[in-house]
Amino acid sequence: MQAIKASSFHLPRLNPVALITLAAASLIGAPVAIAILTGVIGGGGDAWLHIVSTQLLGYTMTTLAVIGLTATLILLFAVPTAWFVSLNEFPGRGFFEWALILPLAAPGYVLAYAWADAADVAGPIQSLLRDVTGLSARDYWFPSVYSIPGLSFVMASALFPYAYLTARAAFSNLSLCTMEAARSLGASPRRLFLQVALPAARPAIFAGLALALMETAADYGAASYLGVQTLSVGIFRAWHSFSEPAVAARLAVLLILIAFGLQFIERVARGRGGIQQTATRWRTPRRQKLGPVAGWGVAIGCTLVLMLSFVIPVSRLIWVSAETGLGQGQIVRPFLNSLTLALAGSAFAFVLALTITIGARQNRFSQFIGRFAAGAGYAAPGIVLALGALFILSWTGFSVAGPAALIFLVWIYASRFTAAGAEPLNAAFSRAPASLGNAARSLGASRFQRLVRVDLPVAMSGASAAAIILFVETLKELPATLMLRPFNWDTLAVQAFAYASDERLAAATLPSLLITAAGLGPVVLLSLQLTRAGQSRAAG
């Protein structure tokens, strides 16, 4: 008892909410913790020394280069489009406003298959180039998709909507007063963007960017297909080619550190920057109508982003699929498997995300432990979590092939993606006035009453966004599913990956397109909902 008393200085009040948050955080963090612990305890012996001396620097530098380049491309794709869509009027604006979220439905590895095929020396783009110019394949240089820039481009295409969404929300929420004041002081649109809007929106943009970059760091499917030796690929190699799970776990620690670094940078950026919006008039500022040249220029820019990130690669897959005809493969079962697992995984993740988000409102300890666990889970690649789960399975004597593995898989999904679900829930709180809680308190509401009658309803306003993001992310998950699925439980992602790695792109197209299609519905829903929310605010 003494020990607990002493430590309660740091653990302010172990009320039920804090305890539940702690339990949720433990569930989220356990697979990561176990994987890391086994890595540290198990040691690595010669293989670890070998990898440290020959591979580690390469893996790390490659990962950092991919992260840096992807970040640049995401900002390039997301910020200007979000700015113009939110605050300007131009041809097709209404369409782009929601269509630019669509790429979220296509997993990075699917875009990698498509681009690797389309941009290959024998692919349609280079063939056309040769036909038009009369050059031979040896006469010109063409960027290779099988490269760090290629991977970065593919990851940015798949993930920029995260930053686009947060940036768009921030730009739309800019205080009317601030904008009008700046305008009336004669600020040019450029100055308005660079010196008023961008600094104000920076924290939101960074939040979206951090999510996208952590996802990039954890990617296995695209990097391995494109032969880029990132840490994630190195983790797989250490485990599968060198048979050194402990070394894999050690590499994972490094990857998690990088992801935490990203989170730290994001926090710093958020803490320092951000102009506090105090104005109560939360109306979307009036959209500036662009001149015809600028308007069409912007429309072409938005078209280009949408074409490159989504339309061209997906069309290529549709083309290949149509050209070669449908295989005799079983597709219904994997489709249902994917849906079942994604629903179960996202439901569990949603509950955990809600728990830690609400918990974070209660005290700093809950906030810290929840964020820490969710951040660690999100930062850990699926394979690391699967590694942790495999050990728990083995300890408890369960068969990896049995129904228990399904429960573990759902658990891993939750551990992996809770952070992505918590983000929209958190955002719901940042949209609500901070005075809401204080008002409730001054009205004499108890802690519990405030939780149920203030915090929960506020969080639920971000619920559909959270649920949709969780569903789509779980649907796209590859490495953990690859490791943990029981007998006869292939998902679309697993099928697509197996076929594509087996050099049968035609066979991989159908599952790839089905994942995208299954994700597209929810993404459109999310997109329309967010767009409508923006409009109603603008109207109100």
Q: Which of residues 40-69 bind other proteins (CB under 8 A)?
A: 41-43, 45
152 to each of 160, 168, 257, 272, how far by Cα in Å? 11, 23, 20, 28
Is the CB of 62 or the CB of 175 nearer to other proteins?
A: 62
Q: Is 376 in the site for other proteins (CB under 8 A)?
A: no
State the minimum distance, in angstroms, from the CB of residue 51 to other proteins. Answer: 13
Following CA atoms 153, 159, 161, 163 in sequence, which dihedral angle do they give, to the nearest 10 degrees? -100
Residue from 323, 332, 442, 539 binding other proteins (CB under 8 A): 323
| Binding-site member from 486, 529, 535, 538 for other proteins (CB under 8 A) | 486
Q: How far is the CB of 328 from other proteins (least distance, A)?
A: 5
Residue type, 179: M
Instruction: Report the alpha-carbon distance of residue 99 to residue 77 in Å, rounded.
Output: 13
Only one of the segments 106-114, 163-171, 400-408, 441-449 lies at the binding site for other proteins (rule: CB under 8 A); that segment is 400-408
- Answer yes or no whether residue 136 interacts with other proteins by CB under 8 A: yes
Q: Does 141 bind other proteins (CB under 8 A)?
A: no
d(CA 390, CA 412): 11
Applying CB under 8 A, among 134, 143, 397, 444 the residue interacting with other proteins is 397
Residue list 90-119, contact with other proteins (CB under 8 A): 116
CB of 104 to other proteins, least distance (A): 27
Q: Is 140 in the site for other proteins (CB under 8 A)?
A: no
Tell me if 442 contacts other proteins by CB under 8 A.
no
- Minimum CB separation of residue 39 from other proteins in Å reads 9
Region for residue 243 given its phi and psi (left: phi exceeds 0; alpha: psi -120 to 50; beta: otherwise): left
User: Do 526 and 164 meet the contact criterion of CB atoms below 8 Å apart?
Assistant: no
Give the integer Cα–Cα distance in Å for 116 and 127. 14
CB 247 within 8 A of CB 238: yes
**Of 164, 490, 511, 523, the one binding other proteins by CB under 8 A:** 490
State how far Cα 46 lies from the chain centre: 36
Q: Which stretch binds other proteins (CB under 8 A): 59-67, 253-261, 340-348, 493-501?
A: 493-501
Strands of 163-289, DSSP E? 288-289
* Integer angstrom CA distances of residue 13 from 6, 17, 363: 12, 10, 8
Residues in the chain: 540
Interatomic CA distance for residues 309 and 98, integer angstroms: 14
What residues contact residue 329 under an 8 Å CB cut-off, 6+ apart? Answer: 495, 507, 510
Q: Which stretch binds other proteins (CB under 8 A): 68-76, 286-294, 465-473, 500-508?
A: 500-508
Question: Would you tell me which residues interact with other proteins (CB under 8 A)?
Answer: 38, 41-43, 45, 116, 120-122, 124, 126-127, 130, 136-138, 144, 146, 227, 237, 239-241, 243-246, 320, 323-325, 327-330, 390-391, 393-402, 482-483, 485-488, 490, 495, 498-499, 501-504, 506-507
